[in-house]
Each structure stands twice: as structure tokens, then as C-alpha cells.
Amino acid sequence: MKVAAIQMVSAVAREANLARAHQLLRQAAEAGAELAVLPEYFCTMGLRDTDKLRLREAPDGGMVQGFLADAAREFGMWIVGGTLPLESPEEDHVLNTSLAYAPTGECVARYDKIHLFYFASGDEHYDERRVITPGSRPVVFDLPSRDGHRWRVGMSVCYDLRFPELYRALSRAGAELLLVPSAFTHTTGSAHWEVLLRARAIENLAWVVAPAQGGQHENGRRTWGQSLVADPWGTVLDQQATGEGVVLCELDIGLLEQARTRLPALTHRVL
């Protein structure tokens, strides 16, 4: 199954971001991708954290959800929409939600980001807890590919990457492919991004597809980028350092089965 990890440098205006995402999705489809994954905050990187409140959508529909459904139908492709702000039970908060769409335009899975980013170092300070309500459950969905294999796909977002217990839960649920749409900061990404992604692939003997934000944003934020695909042995097969682009890779279920046969670590778990 050919997959596309889409890297963006999202701006403030939602409509402009959706237009650019559409162009990149078209590029992925024309290259033969069966699944395309957009990065976290693909639809907006606001000037302030509270801008998410103004753009939040109801769970049953909105501009961004309509865009994703329409694009999936237009391109006949599975699309996972990085994240978008959905209404939260808390009036002054949103959920940071990743949605998966089938080529029919049907939304088949919803994951609300569980772990919320906090970082403070000098002038650099982030605290997602101020406006985001955390999710509470791991999510997997099935993706029947053209090659006849039914992929079991585990969903996660950005800061989740630092919590291996989430990925172990996805693995226990049968995940063969782990998605990690992200917007890692340049500071944390340069130190930890690749090693964490490779670790999650190795620990779970699973494919990892990690699309990211990558560059200098209109709001002043600088993201690390390095969207990549890693195989179940932890080898990075393709990546893009910075700037917009599409990282393409062919996923081979046989390689996963071979890795799990050679090193059946998942069957050796004790705790």
C-alpha cells in the first residue's frame, strides 16, 4: 500500500491552508497514494491559542470536515486529517481531533489527542491545557487496501509520541500501522523526533507514518518538520527535512510479518 505523509507550513487563514492541503493531496493521489495523512493543525496555526475556539466545529460537520470528506471522494483516497478543533464539553476549550475518511467520504474513525503538550524554556513556552480538553481512549480502524490486506491502523498525535504505553495499547489492539501527525517544535524536534518515532516502530514492530509541520510560521512559531516513514525494523525509508512536500512510501505487510517472525517480541510481553 502506498502512503503519503504530507508536510505543511500552515498559516493563520483556514481557507488558504485548506487550498494548499488540497493541492498536496492531489499530488499524493496522482503519485498513486492510497492513504494520505495531513499534519497536526493542518487547517490553521493561529496567532493565539484561543483562535482555536473561534474555528471549532461540531462533531457532525463543519468546513474542515466537509473539506476532508469531499477530498476523499474526489481523489478516491483514504485521508487522515491531522487535527482540527472540535467542540469540547468545556465551553472555553476544544478537542484536538484527528479524523479518518474512507474514499467514499465517510468518516470511519475519530481520535481526540490524549496527551497535551507543555514546554517551558526561556522565552519558549507552550501549554495546550489552556484551551484543549484531552481525549481518553486509544483508537484503531481497519483499512482494506487494494492489495487485499486489511491494515489495522492506530491513531495518535504529536506529544502522544512520548508515551509508549499508548502505542502498546494500539499494538494490543492489533495495530500494524501507527500514524503520528505532528507539529513538533524546532527545539524538541531536533532533539527527540526521529529517535522517538524509530523507537515506537521498533517496540511495536509496526510501520510508522509521521507527517509534520515543518518551517517558519506566520504566527512566529518554528516547527521541526522531518516528515518520515519508518518500517517495523525502525529504518527510516523516506523523509523530508523542511518546507511543504509529500513523502511517499510503499508499505509492505510481508516486511512486517517477517520482522514479527524473526523477533517475536510482542509475544514475549510480561507486564
40 noted as active-site residue = yes
43 noted as active-site residue = no
Strand partners, 236: 230
CA angle in degrees (0–180, nearest 5) for 38-229-199: 115
Say if residues 264 and 171 touch (Cβ distance below 8 Å).
no
Residue type, 247: V
Q: Report the alpha-carbon distance of residue 147 to residue 27 in Å, rounded.
A: 21
Active-site hit among 43, 107, 158, 249: 158
Active-site hit among 40, 128, 176, 244: 40
Q: Report the alpha-carbon distance of residue 139 to residue 91 in Å, rounded.
A: 25
Active-site hit among 57, 87, 107, 113: 113
158 noted as active-site residue = yes
Say if residues 132 and 117 touch (Cβ distance below 8 Å).
no
Say if residues 121 and 187 touch (Cβ distance below 8 Å).
yes
End-to-end CA distance of the chain: 33
Q: Report the alpha-carbon distance of residue 25 to residue 28 in Å, rounded.
A: 5
CB atoms within 10 A of CB 62: 16
Q: Which residues are catalytic?
A: 40, 113, 158
